[in-house]
Amino acid sequence: MNPDAPLLFFDSGVGGLSVLGPTRALIPNAPIVYAPDSAAYPYGTKSEAKLAAHVPVLLTRLVERFAPRLVVIACNTASTIALDHARAALAIPVVGTVPAIKPAAELSRSRVIGVLGTEATVRQPYVDDLAARFAADCTVVRHGSAALVELAEAKLRGRAPDPAAIAAAIAPLLDAAPGMDVMVLACTHFPLLADELAAAAPGVRQVDGAAGIARRIAHLTRGQPWPERPSGQAVFTAEPDPALFPALARFGLSRVATL
């Protein structure tokens, strides 16, 4: 294994940074290519057919270009729709990000769990299956929000989210799930709004899969060599917005390019 072979993180936008963070903490010297599909953002309002066709093609292009050792689909929407298609298209390991319903069910005392994702994610059979397998004795209430994705994108560009907008975005979930004590952040953009969501839903625990994904990546790459120093670049599919550069730098992505 070439020590410089990167880990390729992929999302529609900045959400995958919430997955990247714990991986960086666990494997500090892993070279990172972070690829936001800014040309096709947002994913959550797109159709299954479109994403199932688009994601494997783009990932194939990225893998040809960067020769990563492993791909992380750091996006619940793309994973719940296109994970199998991506695995079939690529010859390297593909780690997906799917709603953390299992740990949420383990934590819940009230047995009422919320799943907060994109509109596309919350309607997936993949989510039905997770709920049936791991939370059969829970009431699992789903809510999709495109507004929260936009608010997370704006926050990473330095614009503080309006608390009223956050509250309005999750009000339908709170109304539909009385007694909810655990909320699955089933979109990788949402942990970037953890503080704001905690203020809007006090007392509700938030669960996401990022720490588990970091452990999975460490397991899959155990024994492989890494460079002596960390490095990271962001590779956008459309002209990048310079307002994002400071946030990217905070995640160790000091170089920015366009595919």
Binding site for ligand DGL (CB under 6 A): 11-13, 15, 41-44, 75-77, 118, 121, 149, 187-189
Q: How far apart are CA 55 and CA 248, in angstroms?
A: 23
CB contact burial 2-37 (16+ within 10 A = b; e otherwise): eeebbbbbbbbbbbbbbbbbbbbeebeebbbbbbbb
Q: Residue 21: which residues within 8 A CB-CB, separation 6 or more?
A: 210, 251
Q: Catalytic residue, from 5, 19, 74, 75: name it.
A: 75
- Using only C-alpha atoms, the chain has a radius of gyration, in whole angstroms, of 18
Residue of 73, 101, 187, 210 marked catalytic: 187
How far is residue 175's CA from residue 69's CA, in Å, rounded to a whole number?
Answer: 44
Distance CA 206, CA 165 (A): 19
| Nearest Cα to Cα of residue 69 among 24, 136, 125, 9 | 9
Comparison of 5 and 189: residue with beta carbon closer to ligand DGL: 189
| 138 a catalytic residue | no
Cα angle for residues 248, 250, 252 (degrees, 5° grid): 75
Query: Measured from the CB atom, is 11 or 196 closer to ligand DGL?
Result: 11
Q: Is the CB of 119 or the CB of 181 nearer to ligand DGL?
A: 119
Query: CA 233 to CA 256: how far, in whole Å?
Result: 6
Closest to ligand DGL by CB, 5 or 148? 148
- For residue 31, the minimal CB distance to ligand DGL (Å) is 23
Give the residue numbers annotated as catalytic, written as ranges. Answer: 75, 187
